[in-house]
Amino acid sequence: MELKLEPLEGGVTEAKGFRATGISCGLKDGGYKDLGIVYSQKPCETACSFTNNQVKAAPVMFDLARIENKISAVLVNSGNANCLTGKTGDENVLEMARLTEQFLSLPEDSVMVASTGVIGRKLPMDRVTYGIEKICKMVKSESDIKNFSHAIMTTDKKPKNVAYEFKIDGKTVRVGGSAKGAGMIKPDMSTPHATMLVFITTDALISKSALQSALKDAVDTTFNRISVDNDTSTNDSVFLLSNGMAGNTEITEDSETFSIFKEVLAKVCLGLAKLVVKDGEGATKLIHIAVKNAKSENDAEKIARAIADSYLVKTAVFGQSPNWGRILAAVGYSGARFDIAKVRLLMNDLVIFENGDVNKANESRAGGEMISPEINLTIDLNLGKADFEVWTSDLTCDYVKINANYLS
Amino acid sequence: MELKLEPLEGGVTEAKGFRATGISCGLKDGGYKDLGIVYSQKPCETACSFTNNQVKAAPVMFDLARIENKISAVLVNSGNANCLTGKTGDENVLEMARLTEQFLSLPEDSVMVASTGVIGRKLPMDRVTYGIEKICKMVKSESDIKNFSHAIMTTDKKPKNVAYEFKIDGKTVRVGGSAKGAGMIKPDMSTPHATMLVFITTDALISKSALQSALKDAVDTTFNRISVDNDTSTNDSVFLLSNGMAGNTEITEDSETFSIFKEVLAKVCLGLAKLVVKDGEGATKLIHIAVKNAKSENDAEKIARAIADSYLVKTAVFGQSPNWGRILAAVGYSGARFDIAKVRLLMNDLVIFENGDVNKANESRAGGEMISPEINLTIDLNLGKADFEVWTSDLTCDYVKINANYLS
């Protein structure tokens, strides 16, 4: 079956029956929006992916206990991570869900909660309570993707929305998502890192197990392959909600349509993942690292991640310096199998190193390539058939300034 | 046996029979010193420790082949790493050793070589040859620790010298060392990272196997526990030369005096390791991280290194912010076993977190502590009996600036 995919402008509100909005309730200074909600007119099958950090924020523990439930809304606050907040934190997240259920007349246990912001501060529940009442009233009748996008931001500079429309058996189906995340990014969720929060909705009718399987695959090849600073957050969460309102024949793991759904979902996730890296704290470059022809995928992954995590490679890219020596030094300490005599290193399309030696002519040309906002590094090991790719950002003075001052 | 230890002012030239000096031969721009030599009047038993990076510079491969030899001199250049330089690189290092042997009238295969600087550039051998002739003449009659210290520097701001004197059976014995290293620091040598180069000399008479065993232990607990930027260099090397000129009864692994020698050597190594971290590129703080009472040493190490490698912890310390949430987030993703309810976190002597919650009073006091140039972070897991400690520096705008511009 051929896939005709239409990109849409919006994000989490593009699928039928979903609304979202955002307000300020006083968690952030300066009147910035800090409380958001995603709401579905019909209860949703849900698949989630949470941080693998052993220190998990209260809302993550809370959502994990609701993972089998039908979900109608996800409430999200920024400005406070509700993490390492003890028993009070657990009580507060329960109260947030309970109030949302009450004000939206939803069944018990049908709301999930996400938080991002400073760790170790208790939520000011008087402000949160007031905010929940207000936002629930609003989302019953209106939807505003811009306000939602701003409500989930912390150090983000830009809203991050991706959505696509396609057909299944003549029915229009949409998958769309909105994300936040700029620092503390290296998703390692049994599926992402940052605090990265991702909200994806679809009106596809799809079985719960197919939804879970599709999300796991999509997260593994997108959010789990980006890194800004190699710190795994306590709050990373990806929510995928499907309300079935597109009216398509149900997608199951056995149906022909499953691979199409997976492809679209992966495209939404990759789009959002790249937006997160591009908006990485202080970032000026998107760096794509592709390791090719390794002995094993594990070897390819080790090398890709060693380069992506190297302070020296990331500062060199910031300096627009084609410092291939630092890249090969990272290959060397990655722990992967390789033979330096067989390694080919490319910067964008220029071969910089092969047959154990530098290509002098291309090295001087590479200076020009480094001015580009997107840098492709290809490391061809010529040893086997396994590939791995990751995306990262450069390491800049602004990254240091942002994080020297931000309490997160 | 009680150890009376006298600190000395110098480094690699304090032990009897050793001389060192440095000159400029034109590898660095601006006439800075870039060629150094350590020379012993008697051939030395030698123990070495080299980078575990699979990409090893030509001099490292060269020295590895001479590891069993008696060594009389180590020639070292800065400004060029002679790494990833193909066959020419191998030929050049052999020529450097051969010339040194010739000009100092030393037996064949009795010289080792070390290099640090830019990766992937061939050495200008005309300048190097001229320099070797000049420095060999000088070191026959004179010694200048200051010139040597400057000749081995790259981005270092300060010379790094540590030496001690003690008595064995009435004989005065000295152990002294000189080091360079500021960036690309995370020694992982079957023993250090950076390019870190360390030259240690002793006039003790000691068996080769005792010398090797003492160095391995000392490197494991000192150079292998420091990290500036988590990049492992292709050129890291530690040289330990003993010429026996103190006239003591030979130290062997069975002799009573071995533990004394080991203690002094470890003190020299720890002193140098701390100087390397303090002079870390752009660093403003020395951070000591002690993990206590873990289930296993491996758990303790995972946590200590996760904190030491965290961009967010390092930028917070630079910002003088007592951001304990980032520290516990790193504990969480370290992969080590812990129970957050049992964890006690101290900044200097202040308990910041215990019983699953922040100590609010101490948290506000901690702001004052963060002004100190040395920050101690203690993570007591209260789970077992294993400890591990590491030293690192903060991550600053100057680090980024230095590495965005430096070709290494």
Average per-residue pLDDT for chain A: 92
Instruction: Specify the pLDDT at position A29.
Output: 86
Q: Which residues contact B187 (CB under 8 A, 6 or more apart)?
A: B51, B193, B194, B196, B219, B223, B224, B226, B232, B236
Distances (CA, A) of B13 to B197, B202, B250: 16, 9, 21
DSSP code of residue A251: B
Q: Is B90 left (phi over 0), alpha (psi -120 to 50) or beta?
A: alpha
Question: Which residue on chain A is closest to B326 by alpha carbon?
Answer: A408
Instruction: Specify the pLDDT at position A156.
Output: 84
Distance CA A201, CA A180 (A): 15
At residue A85's C-alpha, the angle toward residues A79 and A90, to 5°, is 100
Instruction: Specify the pLDDT at position B194.
Output: 46
Question: Residue A346's Cα: distance from chain center in Å?
Answer: 27
Instruction: Specify the pLDDT at position B192.
Output: 29
pLDDT higher than 90, residue A280: no
Q: What percent of chain A has pLDDT over 90?
A: 77
Active site residue A195: yes
pLDDT higher than 80, residue A210: yes
Instruction: Specify the pLDDT at position A367.
Output: 87
Instruction: Specify the pLDDT at position A186.
Output: 53
Neighbour count for residue A8 (Cβ, 10 Å): 15
Instruction: Specify the pLDDT at position A169.
Output: 87
Distance CA B354, CA B3 (A): 39
Q: Where are the domains of chain B?
A: 6-275, 286-405
Instruction: Specify the pLDDT at position B280.
Output: 81
CB A307 within 8 A of CB A343: no
Q: Whats the size of chain B, residue-wise?
A: 408
Instruction: Specify the pLDDT at position A185.
Output: 53
Question: Residue B103's Cα: distance from chain center in Å?
Answer: 29
A residues 59..78 contacting B (CB < 8 A)? none
Residue with tokens 């009238």: B105
Question: Which residue on chain A is closest to B183 by alpha carbon?
Answer: A312
pLDDT higher than 90, residue B137: yes
Neighbour count for residue B31 (Cβ, 10 Å): 8
**Stretch among A284-298, A306-320, B338-352 having the lowest mean pLDDT:** A306-320
Distances (CA, A) of B362 to A402, B351, B354, B367: 25, 7, 11, 9
Question: Which residue on chain B is closest to A235 by alpha carbon?
Answer: B329
pLDDT higher than 50, residue A125: yes
**Average pLDDT rounded to a whole number, residues A359-376:** 92
Whether residues A331 and B120 touch (CB distance < 8 A) is answered with no
How far from each other are the two terminal CA atoms of chain A, in whole angstroms? Answer: 47
pLDDT higher than 70, residue A234: yes
pLDDT higher than 50, residue A254: yes
- Looking at this predicted complex, what is its ipTM? 0.78
Average per-residue pLDDT for chain B: 92
Neighbour count for residue A232 (Cβ, 10 Å): 30
pLDDT digits (tens, 9 = 90+) for B139-193: 999 999 999 999 999 878 899 999 999 999 899 999 999 999 875 555 444 322 3
Whether residues A315 and B399 touch (CB distance < 8 A) is answered with yes
pLDDT digits (tens, 9 = 90+) for A22-57: 999 999 988 899 999 999 999 999 999 998 888 999
Q: Under CATH, which number does the domain A286-405 receive?
A: 3.10.20.340
A282 confidence band (pLDDT: 50, 70, 90):
confident
**Average pLDDT rounded to a whole number, residues A251-277:** 95
CATH class of A6-275: alpha beta
A191 confidence band (pLDDT: 50, 70, 90):
very low
pLDDT digits (tens, 9 = 90+) for B39-80: 999 999 999 999 888 899 999 999 999 999 999 999 999 999
Question: Among residues A13, A51, A155, A195, which one is catalytic?
Answer: A195
Closest among B177, B187, B154 to B49, alpha carbons compared: B187
At residue A350's C-alpha, the angle toward residues A349 and A355, to 5°, is 125
**Stretch among A80-84, B26-30, B279-283 having the lowest mean pLDDT:** B279-283
Task: Tell me the backbone φ, ψ of residue B114, rounded to 5 degrees.
Answer: -135, 145
pLDDT higher than 70, residue A407: no
